[in-house]
Amino acid sequence: MEKLEKYYNQIKNSPVFLGMSDDELKGLLECFGARIRKFEKEEMVIRQGDVISNIYLILDGEVNIEKDSYWGRRIIISRLGKNDNLALSFVGSKDVESSVDAITVKDTTVLVLRYEKCTSMCQNACTRHKVLINNLFRILSKENIELIQKIENVSQKTIRDKLLTYLSNEAQRQHSNSFDIHFNRQDLADYLNVDRSAMSFELSKLQKEGLIEYNKNHFELL
């Protein structure tokens, strides 16, 4: 098992531990029994139907949150990367099962935290737990905003409008009209829940109309 010390600086800079001193963070990691796990590319981190008891902080790599339809069509709900949190929305209830799969896109390293330790005060009632809970609520709020944007993207009636809405949201999120996206063409089609060839045709049309320029996963809004 990888040692925490190797990743300590990265862990310290995570939004989960924002506002903690070194002593507070080290004490919290020890209190939680935090550990490092490594997953290979295309390995399942969470399966649909799992009852989730851990929070996973992605230290390196990428993870797709996916769901297959009854007929086997893949839908990508989101892609998570460095410093993102996996399973925060599903933990905390013995009765709630994960409705999605979490699958690594590349080799991925995560920090594992027990959810019950995160939300229960220790015997010393230390302030670090209060800071952590406030941070987790802040992160959940951010995830809700991103979910609203995803709903906005896929609720558009045409492929063209889905693409324009998605690209507009990405430009605003990255504070630039020139940006890279995480998705290749197939993954983007699965994320927007559209046919890949039809989507590629619409991208070509948008470029010919002078609305966008793109090369692989780099886009510029004109």
H-only helix segments in 123-195: 127-154, 159-174, 185-192
Task: List pLDDT tens digits, range 155-193.
Answer: 888 999 999 999 998 998 899 999 999 899 999 999 998
Task: List pLDDT tens digits, range 70-102.
Answer: 677 788 888 888 888 876 665 555 566 777 889
Residue range 141-146: mean pLDDT, rounded: 80
Question: What's the whole-number average pLDDT of the chain?
Answer: 84
Taking the C-alpha atoms of residue 210 and residue 95, their distance in angstroms, rounded to an integer, is 51
110 — pLDDT class (breaks 50, 70, 90): very high
Residue range 15-40: mean pLDDT, rounded: 85
For residue 36, the cross-strand partners are 111
Taking the C-alpha atoms of residue 164 and residue 175, their distance in angstroms, rounded to an integer, is 16
pLDDT: is 124 or 97 the higher one?
97
Looking at residue 166, its pLDDT comes to 92
Cα 139 to the center of its chain, rounded Å: 11
Portion of the chain with pLDDT greater than 70, in percent: 89
Residue range 11-39: mean pLDDT, rounded: 85
Q: What are the extents of the domains in the chain?
A: 4-143, 156-221
Looking at residue 87, its pLDDT comes to 65
**Residues, the chain, total?**
222
CATH topology of domain 4-143: Jelly Rolls (2.60.120)
25 — pLDDT class (breaks 50, 70, 90): confident
pLDDT: is 129 or 40 the higher one?
40
How many other C-beta atoms lie within 10 A of the C-beta of residue 30?
A: 10
Taking the C-alpha atoms of residue 45 and residue 55, their distance in angstroms, rounded to an integer, is 11
Residue range 197-216: mean pLDDT, rounded: 94
Looking at residue 116, its pLDDT comes to 67
Task: List pLDDT tens digits, range 210-222.
Answer: 999 999 999 999 9
Task: List pLDDT tens digits, range 44-69.
Answer: 998 888 877 788 889 999 998 888 87
Q: CATH assignment of 156-221?
A: 1.10.10.10
3-state secondary structure of 208: helix
Looking at residue 43, its pLDDT comes to 94
